[in-house]
Amino acid sequence: TGDMSALMVIFGGTGDLTNRKLIPALYNLIYDHRLPKHFAVAAVGRRDMDHEQYRKVIFEQLKKYSRNEIDQRLWEKLSCLIYYFQLNFTEKTGYERLNTFLSKLDDTYQTHGNRLFYLAVAPEFFETIVMNLHNNKMAVETNDSWKRLVIEKPFGKDLKTARLLNEKLREVFREDDIYRIDHYLGKEMIQNIMVLRFCNLVFESLWSNKYIDNIQISLAEKHGIGSRAGYYEQSGAMRDMVQNHLLQIVSLIAMEAPINLTSDAIKTEKLKVLNSIETFSSESLKNNVIFGQYGRGVIDGYPVPGYREEASVKDNSNTETFIAMKFHINNFRWAGTPFYVRTGKRMGVNAAEIVIQFKSMPDVLYFSNDAEQEPNLLVIKIQPNVGVFFQFNTKDFHMENEVISTKMDTSHTSGEQGNTPEAYEKLILDVIKGDSTLFSSWDEVEASWTIADRIIEYGRQKRLKLPNYDAGSMGPVLSFELLARDCRKWWNI
Ligand code: BG6
């Protein structure tokens, strides 16, 4: 730690993630003068290209995906730090050549032997790459240099495979040097959850089953699966969004205050939440978990195909593109307050938000007649709107004893791309700093898979009638009944 020089080695240099997220993040870092002084990138890919060709390719993509305007001079400054290295990931001898190449870059850019190995590749290559790094002694730390591994999801496809993968990684890297990315943790409003809770008396003192009626988390997306069928068919919404992003959000919302702001202290508290989520009984699985898959529909005025009609999806596929669940966190703070969560593709809106619904006031005084009582709502808007919304009651001007609900909204639109710092900018810098707060520890991954596995297994056995929601809608009817049954509803703020 402390030493901000680094050589970033991206495996999957020609892939989608590199184009859409990593290179734009680096560009934005240089744009904001935040890129470390001693820094270079080796992008490793299977295609045959030279450095110049590679730089051209990523530049074209950068123009599409950067949140800042493209300044030619800055691009030149960045692009001459970026090199391409052709390697077939399974070809053992190639790693020796790669190592020699990295040492040369290391000398040129004075990166002090610090290496950030970024695995932006399909999961079947994770183990091969790490073992090859190991066999070529490329992952050995010295007293004054670090070697860190950044690994994208999916981290295994269930608890068993995640464990096997983790064991392999741990043969080569220390837990502290493994950065398991959950890019949601890099989003501004996700980091803001702890600040909102622990810096505001008015929220934290009410933050429990005593005052909160229920908590809702929705991660709704308009897009379908695009060209990712190969991945998504194996994954579905449960593995794609719930096991990672959604459960991470739940743990931040429900955690106790950590003893300090170190990564360890925070992770200790988050882990306790994951371990307190109810173990779904067969009864609760049946009643409280809703799977969905989109059929044809209309998004933004255009007809779109159903999931089973998407390229490379089987026409009888049972993969879920939507999931809604109700569960309890069985600890002292939360027992009795239900959590409702949902996520889906091809929904009617793009909206990621957390709704905290407070309990209602007694039905006396102002609410004694048939006047409907609007509850206090605190909404944490993650995207595309970013900020906080709060709903409370006031007197209707000029009307005697009439109450209306007032809305305070601090959120602003960030647009699809957003001009808030891209999650990846923050995350890359954190790895270089050696701060793993915004990454998932093995213990968290293990606890999340334990929860996810049970639900996935239930889904596998259940006979699903799919598709069961139209593209452009807000999910299957059953997901509305899940709340209606409890005399509640999803809030779409
Ligand atoms: C990824 C999922 O982890 O998150 C995608 O694999 C999903 O399916 C994406 O679309 C959503 O991320 P964001 O940042 O666009 O909300």
Give DSSP secondary structure letters for 294-355: EEEEEETTEEE--GGGSTT--TT----SEEEEEE-B-STTTTT--EEEEEESSBS--EEEEE
**What are the angstrom distances between the C-alpha of 413 and each of 139, 246, 391, 474, 480?**
42, 22, 19, 21, 27
d(CA 28, CA 238): 32
d(CA 249, CA 219): 11
Q: Supply the ipTM of this predicted assembly.
A: 0.98
Please give the radius of gyration of the chain, using alpha carbons only, rounded to the nearest integer.
Answer: 24
Mutate to test the pocket of ligand 1, among 184, 242, 247, 438 (most ligand atoms within 8 A of CB): 184
List the pLDDT tens digit at each of the 493 positions of the chain. 467 999 999 999 999 899 999 999 999 999 999 999 999 999 999 999 999 999 999 999 999 988 889 999 999 999 999 999 999 999 999 999 999 999 999 999 999 999 999 999 999 999 999 999 999 999 998 889 999 999 998 999 999 999 999 999 999 999 999 999 999 999 999 999 999 999 999 999 999 999 999 999 999 999 999 889 999 999 999 999 999 999 999 999 999 999 999 999 999 999 999 999 999 999 999 999 999 999 999 999 999 999 999 999 999 999 999 999 999 999 999 999 999 999 999 999 999 999 999 999 998 888 877 777 899 999 999 999 999 999 999 998 887 878 999 999 998 876 544 456 678 999 999 999 999 999 999 999 999 999 999 999 999 998 889 999 999 999 999 999 999 999 999 999 8
Q: Tokens in use for 488?
A: 């509640």
Beta bridge partners of 322: 292, 344
245 is catalytic: yes
**Which residue bears the tokens 């290209």?**
49
d(CA 484, CA 134): 55
Cβ 188 under 6 angstroms from ligand 1:
no
How far is C-alpha 435 from the geometric centre of its chain's CA atoms?
A: 18
Q: Whose CA is nearest to atom 8 of ligand 1?
A: 240
d(CA 288, CA 488): 14
CB 419 within 8 A of CB 67: yes
d(CA 470, CA 482): 18
Beta bridge partners of 492: none
**What are the angstrom distances between the C-alpha of 35 and each of 71, 191, 418?**
16, 21, 20
CB 154 within 8 A of CB 438: no
Cβ 221 under 6 angstroms from ligand 1:
yes
Q: Look at residues 287, 322, 351, 353 and name the one whose alpha carbon lies nearest to residue 469.
A: 322
CB 270 within 8 A of CB 251: yes
Q: Look at residues 2, 1, 4 and name the one whose alpha carbon lies nearest to residue 111.
A: 4
Beta bridge partners of 242: none
Cβ 353 under 6 angstroms from ligand 1:
no
Q: Whose CA is nearest to atom 2 of ligand 1?
A: 240
Q: Whose CA is nearest to atom 6 of ligand 1?
A: 240
Mutate to test the pocket of ligand 1, among 21, 188, 221 (most ligand atoms within 8 A of CB): 221
Cβ 240 under 6 angstroms from ligand 1:
yes
Beta bridge partners of 354: 217, 380
Q: Which of 245, 328, 398, 412 is catalytic?
A: 245
Helix (H) or strand (E) holding 248: helix 247-254
Annotated binding site for NADP(+): 46, 153
> Residues near 194 by Cβ (< 8 Å), separated by ≥ 6?
252, 266
Q: Quote the pTM value.
A: 0.94
CA of 227 to the centre of ligand 1 (A): 14
Cβ 470 under 6 angstroms from ligand 1:
no
For residue 278, the SS3 value is coil
The DSSP code for 89 is: T
